[in-house]
């Protein structure tokens, strides 16, 4: 494969990368904290199921295996929960995420996106020759867009969790047919931990990059005269779209902005801009958020 000549990274490029990485770690931590708080609460709720309620739910029949076939494609959890035994449904009711969780996750994702958006505006300011300019996103259509993205993601996170939870509960029933609530609580706690660890890097990356991409689009839309070129990084790519852009190397910035990453699931790619630089005395006139 012919790769474009690697452009030598400038001190600025490396500083920007470090800043994005620091932001990403902070976002990862915030998301992981939010999720583990929610899940601790679910474990407490399982433990708090009374003996009377539990015993009433214990049904003599051995649980059957879940039929996921056509449901799996749509990832709808209610039909899956229908198939659980009484005990399984009881545990799912205690441990599922609800609209309150969804709202808290949305809030956290929006906070993270706003952070990443403002950080990216400041990075772009540095790249046009105005380091130290502060960005603020307080209103306007982009805040609405970031909120809509966060709402959609929160719905999807809750939905996927509730679906996976039903599958996990069914599996515990298979493994330990006589499992009591402590067994469920114990096994689900370790499942949560593992799942969280797996999910948080992807969620954090997607959250940050969608916001950064929007920040780049806004920055150059409002600072139009500064558009130069851009290339996609990192240079390692697996999906055909990213490989294609990496191969093209420097493209006109408008082309880059019209083709915003992420391009696929777990896409780490972002456009690295090479804008027009402005004279220092013009820096106060930069658009730095609305």
42-57 as b/e: b if 16+ CB within 10 A: bbebbeebeeeebeee
Nearest distance from residue 244's CB to Zn ion, in Å? 10
Task: Return the number of the residue (222 or 263) whose C-beta is nearest Zn ion.
Answer: 263
State the Rg of the chain over Cα.
Answer: 24
Nearest distance from residue 35's CB to Zn ion, in Å? 25
Task: Return the number of the residue (170 or 270) whose C-beta is nearest Zn ion.
Answer: 270
The answer, yes or no, to whether the previous bond of 183 is cis (omega within 30 of 0) is no
In order of 124, 183, 225, the CA distances from 108 in angstroms are 24, 31, 35
Nearest distance from residue 243's CB to Zn ion, in Å? 9
Task: Return the number of the residue (163 or 206) whose C-beta is nearest Zn ion.
Answer: 206
How are strands ordered across the β-sheet holding 270-274? 251-252, 229-233, 270-274
Nearest distance from residue 59's CB to Zn ion, in Å? 48
> Which residues of the shown chain bind Zn ion in the complex (CB under 5 A)?
242, 263, 267, 269
Task: Return the number of the residue (99 or 234) whose C-beta is nearest Zn ion.
Answer: 234
Task: Return the number of the residue (63 or 262) whose C-beta is nearest Zn ion.
Answer: 262
| Residues 221, 289: Cα–Cα separation, whole Å | 11
| Residues 200, 265: Cα–Cα separation, whole Å | 14
95-132 as b/e: b if 16+ CB within 10 A: bbbeeebbebbbebbbbbbbbbbbbbbbbbbbbbbbee
Nearest distance from residue 262's CB to Zn ion, in Å? 6
Nearest distance from residue 17's CB to Zn ion, in Å? 16
Task: Return the number of the residue (72 or 266) whose C-beta is nearest Zn ion.
Answer: 266
């Amino acid at each position: 494969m012919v790769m474009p000549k690697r452009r030598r990274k400038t001190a600025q490029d490396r500083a920007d990368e470090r800043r994005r990485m620091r932001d990403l770690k902070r976002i990862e931590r915030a998301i992981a904290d939010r999720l583990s708080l929610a899940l601790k609460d679910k474990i407490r709720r399982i433990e708090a199921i009374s003996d009377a309620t539990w015993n009433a739910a214990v049904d003599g029949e051995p649980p059957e295996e879940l039929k996921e076939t056509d449901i799996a494609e749509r990832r709808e959890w209610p039909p899956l929960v229908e198939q659980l035994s009484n005990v399984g449904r009881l545990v799912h009711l205690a441990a599922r995420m609800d609209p309150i969780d969804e709202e808290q996750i949305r809030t956290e994702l929006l906070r993270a996106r706003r952070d990443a958006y403002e950080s990216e505006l400041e990075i772009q300011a540095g790249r046009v020759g105005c380091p130290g300019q502060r960005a603020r996103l307080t209103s306007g259509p982009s805040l609405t867009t970031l909120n809509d993205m966060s709402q959609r993601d929160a719905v999807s996170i809750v939905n996927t969790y509730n679906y996976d939870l039903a599958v996990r509960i069914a599996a515990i029933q298979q493994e330990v047919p006589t499992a009591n609530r402590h067994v469920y609580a114990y096994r689900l706690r370790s499942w949560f931990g593992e799942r969280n660890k797996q999910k948080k890097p992807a969620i954090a990356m997607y959250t940050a990059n969608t916001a950064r991409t929007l920040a780049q689009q806004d920055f150059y839309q409002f600072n139009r005269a500064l558009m130069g070129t851009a290339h996609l990084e990192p240079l390692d790519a697996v999906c055909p779209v990213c490989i294609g852009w990496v191969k093209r190397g420097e493209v006109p910035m408008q082309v880059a902005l019209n083709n915003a990453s992420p391009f696929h699931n777990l896409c780490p790619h972002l456009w690295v801009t090479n804008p027009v630089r402005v004279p220092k005395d013009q820096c106060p006139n930069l658009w730095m958020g609305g």
